[in-house]
Every structure is written in structure tokens, then in C-alpha cells.
């Protein structure tokens, strides 16, 4: 089986990806004994995805892919956007990020938002990008126990549930990440 590194230390993301990309042996950063942070210093999700893939590809001489995702909220002029993971500060957690979003939208009736994921694949020193996005809205409060990140406050278009209320399988049918991963899978299946 082909081995490829998913440049992440996030177990939830890894589980989602492993369920979608079954024809490859997916390893992650802990499998490489790599626990350092790769600073995400670019001002676009594409730039951060490329930065992370480049770093690991060069350091370990391995085929790899990374993703970067942003939550773009219309009423906040696209924030948190590329800074989604650090919206409430450099050392913040998801809870603090969610609370800040809800606070900033407190008296705003425009709740529309979108999630956007870009995957950068580096395979045999060649770079490829795959994108997925989904529109939806921000709920008034946190709902659901599953998922991670902003999932408890994001309701995808056409649904009454937040991502946190969905099973992994339900989320994988429609999520921004799964759309990008399906494009990646399609490419790798043709490639491999």
C-alpha cells in the first residue's frame, strides 16, 4: 500500500481523512516523531497549506499533503478566515474561538458564513492544490457534542443541524474538507 503523510497532529482530522482515503497508508506527524509547530505565517489558506507541505516534504523527503481551513463570516468581513485557529489569540483553544465569534455576532442578524479548505499535495516534488467549500450560517449558540473546531456553531446550507450534531459519516458527505479530499482521492487514484 502506498504510504503518504498527512501533515497534521489533529487526531479528528486524521480520522476523517483515513475514512475517505482508504487506498493509502496514511501516516501523520506523530508517526514521523515530529511534534513541533509549523508556523502558519501566510495570509491565505493556500499559502499555509503549501508552507506546511513544503516543510515536511523537505525535512523527511516524503510524499505528503496538508490542509488549511478557514471559516469566513460575512458580517465580520471574512473573519476569522485564515486566522481561524488563532482567532482569540495565539494560545487560544476552540472554545475561546467559538465564544469570540458568538460575542462578535451577538446582535447581528446576518449569520451567513462559509468554510473553505485547501489541500496542498506534494508528490514526487510536484505540487497540486485541491479546494472544497460549503456555505451555511452561524448558530445563535453552541449545539452538539461531536466534531471539532467551529463545528458546534456551523449549520451547513440545507441542514437544520450543526456539524457537531452530525455523525462523522454525515459530515463527510457534505463538508468542505471532504469535498477537497474527494478531489485529492480522485487525483491519487489516477496517479497511483
**Which positions are catalytic?**
68
Q: How many CB atoms lie within 10 A of CB 58?
A: 11
**Contact call for residues 24 and 46 (beta carbons, < 8 A):** no
Tell me whether the omega of the peptide bond preceding residue 36 falls within 30 degrees of 0, making it cis: no
Helix (H) or strand (E) holding 6: strand 2-6
Tallying the residues shown for the chain, one arrives at: 192
Write out the three cell numbers for 141: 449558540
Q: How many CB atoms lie within 10 A of CB 32?
A: 15
- Torsion, Cα of 143, 111, 163, 145 (10° steps): -20
Half-sphere exposure of residue 153: CA atoms within 13 angstroms, side-chain side: 24
Closest C-alpha among 122, 115, 37 to residue 82: 115
**Contact call for residues 154 and 163 (beta carbons, < 8 A):** yes
Amino acid at each position: 500500500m502506498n504510504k503518504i503523510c498527512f501533515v497534521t497532529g489533529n487526531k479528528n482530522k486524521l480520522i476523517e481523512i483515513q475514512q475517505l482515503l482508504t487506498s493509502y497508508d496514511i501516516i501523520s506527524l506523530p508517526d514521523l516523531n515530529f511534534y513541533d509547530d509549523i508556523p502558519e505565517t501566510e495570509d491565505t489558506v493556500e499559502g499555509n497549506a503549501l508552507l506546511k507541505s513544503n516543510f515536511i516534504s523537505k525535512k523527511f523527503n516524503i510524499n505528503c499533503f496538508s490542509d488549511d481551513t478557514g471559516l469566513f463570516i460575512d458580517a465580520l468581513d471574512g473573519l476569522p478566515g485564515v486566522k481561524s485557529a488563532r482567532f482569540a489569540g495565539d494560545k487560544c483553544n476552540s472554545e475561546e474561538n467559538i465564544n469570540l465569534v458568538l460575542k462578535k455576532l451577538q446582535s447581528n442578524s446576518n449569520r451567513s458564513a462559509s468554510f473553505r479548505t485547501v489541500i496542498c499535495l506534494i508528490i514526487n516534488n510536484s505540487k497540486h492544490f485541491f479546494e472544497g467549500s460549503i456555505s451555511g450560517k452561524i448558530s445563535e449558540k453552541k449545539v452538539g457534542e461531536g466534531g471539532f473546531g467551529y463545528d458546534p456553531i456551523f449549520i451547513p446550507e440545507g441542514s437544520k443541524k450543526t456539524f457537531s450534531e452530525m455523525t462523522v459519516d454525515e459530515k463527510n458527505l457534505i463538508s468542505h474538507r471532504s469535498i477537497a479530499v474527494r478531489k485529492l482521492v480522485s487525483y491519487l487514484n489516477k496517479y497511483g
